[in-house]
Amino acid sequence: MKIEQLYTGCLAQGAYYIESEGEVAIIDPLREVQQYIDKATANNSKIKYILETHFHADFVSGHVDLAKKTGATIVFGPGATTEYNIHTATDGEELKLGKVTIKVLHTPGHTLESATYLLIDENRKEHAIFSGDTLFLGDVGRPDLAIKSNLTKEDLAGMLFDSLRHKIMPLADDVIVYPAHGAGSACGKNLSKETVGVLGEQKRTNYALRADMTKEEFVKEVLEGIPPPPQYFAKNAMMNKMGYDTFETVLKTGNVALNPEDFEALANHESALVLDVRTESEFLKGHIPNSIFIGLNGGFAPWVGALIKDIKQPLILVVPEGKSEEAVTRLSRVGYDNTLGYLEGGLEAWKNAGKDIETIDSISAEEFAAKAKEGKLNILDVRKDGEYLSSHIIDAQHIPLDFINDKMNEVEKDKTYYVHCAGGYRSVIAESILKARGFNKLVDVLGGFGAIKDTDLPVTDYVCPTTL
């Protein structure tokens, strides 16, 4: 028996390769599926099952393409219906894979069809669970993502409580836990940085698995502090349910080199959005007017999904040399399949063609601190709520990047804003969006709050709200 976790950091997502006696099961594959086929081929094995833990909302799974290429059976949990052929498993159903057995545990709560796959070894010992978004290390899946359901998030949270108590917690403490996500995923609120654990440790440390917890307490705690789901979640879940274009088609139409004239024509006449995926420092120094920055060096795909509202928006890319295929691939992972090409030769080709570029001013944290002590500045903090509450510059205006599109009316075009995040990536995203909407008096604070804290500029300390 062989188990391999195939973890993708930018999505905080774990796919799994399980092999026994020449038969393979792939759990929650990524959109680009050739890697799984190549791995099975190298091991002289054949992919028999594609096991989906649920209809994923945070990425487009590769299950449909992988089934077409291999003839493997797609398996979903009870109640799942799709527009393509699947095997809808029953609760407790056992699937044979070589000498091992995979038992389907219906664990609704994160979604209605959510399933946990229990791996039983050749000696009938319960070895591991592939828990999807039902159980993470340190957390459980958010119960507010059901597709077209009349159930409330409280109803689903109650189901999740029952699933954990009746299906997961009775398992032995030495059962290995392989979750679908780790820290950085928006599918939970308190995920561990670790990506593999054991169930006994989760029973001892995971707040949601407290033995003395009532269902009412669970519902309250699991829902407390959950931000609204990113807008692309429902769209990705529907693609996973209905099907999608093949990855090869998306790559062929998206990974197309464009000269500056054709690139400009697409922007001007086809309403294509110019997406600049270089580094934040490169964008500050020079970029195409009205382009939006979301760099490949950060949480690229989730930020695209959170901030570009139309999943079918035509996109044209400014990419680092040799990174066009990576950019198109990572966009496709969250369902942004309408890339029309990239600027051949990058920004240098654009400048050599005599076309305009724009810049954004920047300032070091030390210079910023000196200016702030000289007089009142308009400071815009685009970090998340928890980061801001933990510590922030006194009198700083707070608009989390997630909501910059919806709260632009809180920023004034005639004022100069000094913008920062934690380290410098998100602030440039925010500045690019604001600048494309006509906000031109923007200054980026280099190094973000991490650098600001090292200056002598006063910042607040976290104060726990008083419980009345």
Tokens coding 173: 């403490």
Cβ contacts of residue 316 below 8 Å, gap of 6+? 258, 263, 266, 267, 272, 273, 274, 275, 339, 340, 341, 342, 343
For residue 146, pLDDT beyond 90:
no
Average pLDDT across the chain, whole number: 95
* 367 lies in the same domain as 390: yes
In a domain, 457, yes or no: no
Contact assessment for residue 292 and residue 274, using Cβ atoms and an 8 Å cutoff: yes
Nearest alpha-carbon partner for 172 in 204, 214, 209, 128: 128
79 assigned to some structural domain = yes
Beta partners for residue 358, in sequence order: 287
Predicted TM-score (pTM) of the model is 0.93
Q: Is residue 465 part of a domain?
A: no
Give the mean model confidence (pLDDT) for residues 226-230: 89
Locate the DSSP E strands across 268-382: 273-276, 292-293, 315-318, 339-343, 361-363, 378-381
3-class DSSP state of 454: coil
Contact partners, residue 73, CB within 8 Å, separation at least 6: 48, 49, 50, 67, 86, 87
Mean per-residue pLDDT for 285-291? 98
Average pLDDT over residues 388-403: 95
The band of 461, judged by pLDDT with boundaries at 50, 70 and 90, is confident
Strand pairing class (292-293; 339-343):
unpaired
Look at strands 13-20 and 2-8 and give their pairing.
antiparallel
Q: What pLDDT was estimated at residue 84?
A: 98
Give me the number of domains the chain comprises: 3
Co-location of 273 and 346 in the same domain: yes
Please check whether residue 221 lies inside any domain of the structure: yes
pLDDT over 70 percentage in the chain:
98
Domain assignment present for residue 207? The answer is: yes
How large is the average pLDDT for residues 358-387?
A: 96
CATH number at residue 419: 3.40.250.10
| pLDDT tens digits, 313-352 | 999 999 999 999 999 999 999 999 999 999 999 999 999 9
Residue at a domain's end among 211, 235, 259: 235
Q: What is the pLDDT of residue 71?
A: 98
Pair 121, 128: CB distance under 8 Å:
no
Residues 33 and 132 in one domain: yes
| pLDDT on residue 231 | 93
Q: Name the CA radius of gyration of the chain, rounded.
A: 24
**Residue 460 domain-assigned?**
no
pLDDT of residue 462: 58
Q: What average pLDDT does range 212-233 have in this prediction?
A: 94
pLDDT of residue 274: 98
- 148 pLDDT band, cuts 50/70/90, is low
Are 58 and 131 in a shared domain? yes
Q: Write down the pLDDT at residue 464.
A: 47
pLDDT value at residue 468: 32
The DSSP element (H or E) to which 281 belongs, if any, is helix 280-285
pLDDT value of position 186: 87
Of 318, 352, 386, which residue constitutes the final position of a domain? 352
Mean pLDDT across 377-382 = 98
Q: Which domain holds residue 320?
A: 245-352
Q: Do residues 134 and 9 share a domain? A: yes
Tell whether 226 and 176 lie within a shared domain.
Answer: yes
Domain of residue 52, CATH code: 3.60.15.10
Domain boundary among the residues 235, 259, 292 is at: 235
Question: Do both 144 and 224 map to the same domain?
Answer: yes
pLDDT, position 149: 72
Q: 467 in a domain, yes or no?
A: no
Averaged over 136-155, what is the pLDDT?
Answer: 89
Tokens 């705690």 sit on residue: 221
Residues 96 and 190 in one domain: yes
182 with 331, same domain: the answer is no
> Helix or strand or coil: residue 216?
helix
In a shared domain, residues 287 and 330: yes
Amino acid symbol at 410: E
Q: What's the CA dihedral at 319, 35, 191, 213 to 10 degrees?
A: 150
* One domain, residues 330 and 423: no
Map tokens 């990174």 to a residue.
323
Whether residue 304 is found in the same domain as residue 346: yes
Each residue's pLDDT tens digit, 10-63? 899 999 999 999 999 999 999 999 999 999 999 999 999 999 999 999 999 999
Residue 137: CA atoms inside 13 Å, Cβ hemisphere, count? 21
The per-residue pLDDT for 467 is 35
Residue 466 has pLDDT above 50, yes or no: no
The residue-averaged pLDDT of 209-225 equals 96
Residue 19 within a domain: yes
